[in-house]
Structure 1
């Protein structure tokens, strides 16, 4: 890993949290802590509906940066609006133009978000006309993560005649394809100011390109979604370890380490592209590409999970011990990667990593007390959530070599993991037998729970 830490670009425009979703008032904020509970405790369980609501509320009130908004949108689809989730194997693309009555409530905050982004983009981008991102950002890729949401708003006729979703999506696409710098062989830069490649890109851009292509019958765009992943893999995948490096190229901020979240971003993005293609009219003409993408997802799982230690929680850089500079245990990447394993088990029939995902899930979702009832939103007794429902410990989402306290993307990864496990169980728990023989939650793991320091300030 590198000692040079580059902050993620901050968006100068942000959402008003009160307009995002009806949530309780912002709860007390817990700061200045380093809390590392590293093991499963007594009761391994699923999160209750009440707990998922609490985690989702923290996500809704905190997801203000471009990639956080895009990840929030995707999380809503995976949890409660699965008719519009490409990870739902029972739907085909394009999706229905009329929102089913049983998903209208779930999609209300989704459409609030897309409307606010598109309605404010002209002002946010200083009255720019033509090619432009949904939001101004130092990252060329992160705003594109909002693109699938904007396309769904357009396809379902939201705010007809009032908000130009189609035009906004076209401008974002034009910006990516014709304004953002590229490598000599065509890889679109993750950054605006110079060519620099980040593993995060695979979650932000290719799913948008694929979805745009499928919903507009543009085979070239579908092909480009695959091509961008192929190029990024050629640059970022390490042939020795099989893992993806985080940031390469550019004049500063390189991070050649095997960032756990970055590997999770790449796997999750590829899964979305695979299923977008598979459920479209182009499925039979991209069979080789789908095979490649499936193999590349498996590569990441095969390469990263051997580094999961007895705590069942990944370190920030998967191959480095928690004591290394810039390293610590990170529940956010652990949740993200585990969610992709369940999805791969359902979608790709890849089961080898299911035992590891089960260990991680049970560790993250365990309590040392009595399991709460399904309506309870309490996290009392949970090692990996504070009393307000924030996942911990987590990497600072704005400075990837620093431990943080509250991570919007970490909250999204928790909900995505919950939804992926739910769908995996509904599909018959493929790979379960192997997992059951491998998972053990016992006293040794209990002793690994370490409280290193705690200073709570209630604001």
Structure 2
């Protein structure tokens, strides 16, 4: 055997062993650390979409019986299950609904009729709290002293009758002008779908799908496959492929798909469910090809970190990874699990020698500050600038953890498929290298 051939075989074995070792040694955030991340989220969530995202994150992590991603048929239980009631885990969730509805009259100057749940320049973001308010009403919170039902109805009527629309019916993300943001898909369609299921209004369920279809028609770039961030406005447009926005769109579609699947309308919306699953895969297939060796997305996925307004962003990375785990669980889509696993492992990696499985601290973490803030992150209030403390970034970490946890509990389906894909690519590359060695 030649020295070159022996060297090639040794290289193959070392590379495969290295790949398997990397998979085996991936670090996970502990329950204590997730609680720390959640505590920072609670401190930072003040704006309408931050509160809405936090409320959904609470369900996905701690009250899965009320998450649309559970196997619970909708509508959910009217009586809070004892294991949730005894531990009071839904108290922060209902506190958000209570705060919004109790403050509504004071903040809206006693306005009656169609109106958002909170004053906001965005027509869409307040609706992200709609499901929280609907569940508070469904479970009889505050013994009827707060009009949760009326607040949710006013929010719905506001979207359908007061917010400007495109000529073909796409509801504007902004109140002052017709302008479409890909963030909208996380804020409004899940509320429409959930409201429709809770009130047995099939038309609303259909409209949740229709809004996503319209937004995709406007924002998806046929060449890149990703969704552009903001279009159609007279000013303030952003045609770039904002990573967080593509994550918002994928996550919103998965929530609508899950809502329909767990409802009485599952059998009559089969084509719509298929479309939603395919559209999620479109985003994954187009955006993950831009993930570089750092395993962290840049703020605009197709641009290098040195480009103007660009930098590495751990927030969008966590959100997109969460959608990959959800797609694996719901749709048997496994292709991008290796990418999500690498990103999750990178975000969870520490140079600390601590071996405690319940530590709540972040010592020597590259992607977390010592008190649990994710980094680096886009400024959630100025999407072209790097920030430091992001409520949505904290939520995305928890959502990633919750989705990964459910994927593991379900048997890590697709993990072998993902590993086989990586091995196949590695071996093909090494085989090509071996041919070149032998030829030379």
Measure, in 2, the Cα distance between the counterparts of 1:232 and 1:377: 40
Q: Which runs of 4+ in 1 moved over 2 A?
A: 40-44, 369-372, 434-440
Measure, in 1, the Cα distance between the counterparts of 2:271 and 2:243: 28
Q: TM-score, normalised by structure 1?
A: 0.86
Match of 1:76 in 2: 58
Alignment of 1:353 onto 2:336: yes
Measure, in 2, the Cα distance between the counterparts of 1:373 and 1:263: 36
Q: How does 1:296-445 map to 2 (within 5 A)?
A: 296-436=279-419
Match of 2:44 in 1: 62
Q: TM-score, normalised by structure 2?
A: 0.89
Match of 1:129 in 2: 112
Match of 1:7 in 2: none
For 1:115, which of 77, 98, 101 is the aligned residue?
98
Measure, in 2, the Cα distance between the counterparts of 1:353 and 1:69: 29
Aligned residues: 400
Q: Deviations over 1:327-350 (max 9, x none)?
A: 000000000000000000000111
Distance verdict in 2 for CA 1:352–1:371, change over 3 Å:
farther
Alignment of 1:293 onto 2:285: no
For 2:219, which of 231, 236, 253 is the aligned residue?
236
SS of the residue corresponding to residue 403 of structure 1 reads: strand
| Cα distance, 1:397 vs structure 2 | 0.1
Q: Which runs of 5+ in 2 are unaligned?
A: 1-21, 424-440
| Cα distance, 1:160 vs structure 2 | 1.9
Alignment of 1:99 onto 2:80: yes
Alignment of 1:264 onto 2:247: yes
Q: Which runs of 5+ in 1 are unaligned?
A: 1-39, 441-459
1 or 2, which has the higher helix percentage?
2
Alignment of 1:247 onto 2:201: no
Contact 1:238–1:244 under 8 Å retained in 2: yes
Match of 1:448 in 2: none
Measure, in 2, the Cα distance between the counterparts of 1:357 and 1:149: 28
Alignment of 1:166 onto 2:174: no
| Cα distance, 1:436 vs structure 2 | 3.5
Contact 2:166–2:172 under 8 Å retained in 1: yes
Q: Deviations over 1:93-150 (max 9, x none)?
A: 0001000121121101111111010010111111110101000000000000000000
| Cα distance, 1:251 vs structure 2 | 1.4
